[in-house]
Amino acid sequence: MTTSRFSLLFMFAVLASTLTGCSVAGDIFKGGLWVGVIGVFLVVLVIWWLVSKMSGGGGGNA
């Protein structure tokens, strides 16, 4: 594979990955407020769960 083909393939891969990211962002904006609210709630829930697991809080049997 020549250098020009490799650089063309690399440029195509970069464009393909960035264009799909723009598509996802556009779909999220089309989804509206509730998609954002649910997404933030899920992220906070996962972070809270991870912190509780790391601190050893398993419900506590005294």
pLDDT digits (tens, 9 = 90+) for 23-51: 666 776 777 777 778 888 999 999 998 88
CA pair distance 11, 13, nearest whole angstrom: 5
pLDDT more than 90, % of the chain: 10
pLDDT bin (cut points 50, 70, 90) of residue 58 is low
Is the per-residue pLDDT at 21 higher than 70? no
Residue ranges of domains in the chain = 3-54
CA pair distance 3, 31, nearest whole angstrom: 42
CA pair distance 52, 47, nearest whole angstrom: 9
pTM reported for the whole predicted model: 0.42
